[in-house]
Amino acid sequence: MEHTPIACSHHDHNHCISDALEAARQLCLGRGVRLTDLRLQVLELIWQNHKPLGAYTLMEMLAKANTRRVAPPTVYRALDFLLEQGLIHRINVLNAFIGCPSPTTKHQSHFLICRACGIAIELNQPELSQQIIGVARDAGFAVETQSLEVSGLCANCAGNTEHSEHRHE
């Protein structure tokens, strides 16, 4: 049952972006929280590809887009909001953030991260979450959040490894 993830295959990424932004608008509307210009802008920047972006990278992008200085708290507050609403995930191993393709359904943070091209693929495996909860319960542990970060090579990069190991863009 091999199935190449969207992030790894050629696809119309504008579609990913518009879907994500529209989903965010609906979700915030439904919850009565404010998806302000800044927050939307940060979300859009995060979605510009399937690679996690650091807060300071986002800060520079914001500064460039708005042609004025943007300070860390500004971007961190937007990121905190997006994290709270489940619109993005934090990739701890990279100190970076990536958009969530299914923010409406509650789920844990499970990612495959390619060390060659930098892509992060979000898994959708409720059974895995359940198994982890089970293992934890056997140890008397009550799970609140899960972070699974698997590093390696994605389908694209695994094939090209011998030729070009270290490209980052």
Contacting positions for its own copies (CB under 8 A):
1-5, 8, 92-93, 112, 114-115, 121, 123, 125, 128, 131-132, 135-155, 158
Residue 100 binding: pick among DNA, its own copies, Zn ion, none (C-beta 5-8 Å cut-off by kind): Zn ion
Note the Cα 34 to chain centre separation in Å: 21
Within 66-125, which residues bind Zn ion (CB under 5 A)?
100, 114, 116-117, 119
- Provide, rounded to whole angstroms, the least separation between the CB of residue 62 and DNA: 8
Sign of the alpha-carbon torsion through 120, 123, 124, 129: negative
Residue 112 binding: pick among DNA, its own copies, Zn ion, none (C-beta 5-8 Å cut-off by kind): its own copies
Q: Which is nearer to Zn ion, 38 or 155 (CB)?
A: 155
Residue 121 binding: pick among its own copies, DNA, Zn ion, none (C-beta 5-8 Å cut-off by kind): its own copies
Residue 69 binding: pick among DNA, its own copies, Zn ion, none (C-beta 5-8 Å cut-off by kind): DNA
Q: Which is nearer to its own copies, 40 or 132 (CB)?
A: 132
User: Are residues 91 and 98 in contact, defined by beta-carbon separation less than 8 angstroms?
Assistant: yes
Q: Which is nearer to its own copies, 71 or 139 (CB)?
A: 139
Residue ranges binding DNA (CB under 7 A): 33-34, 36-39, 54-57, 68-74, 76-78, 80-81, 95-96
Alpha-carbon distance of 57 to 45, in angstroms, equals 10
Alpha-carbon distance of 60 to 106, in angstroms, equals 31
User: Are residues 116 and 167 in contact, defined by beta-carbon separation less than 8 angstroms?
Assistant: yes
Q: What is the DSSP letter of 47?
A: T
User: Are residues 33 and 83 in contact, defined by beta-carbon separation less than 8 angstroms?
Assistant: no
Instruction: Tell me how many degrees the CA angle 122-125-129 measures, rounded to the nearest 5.
Output: 105
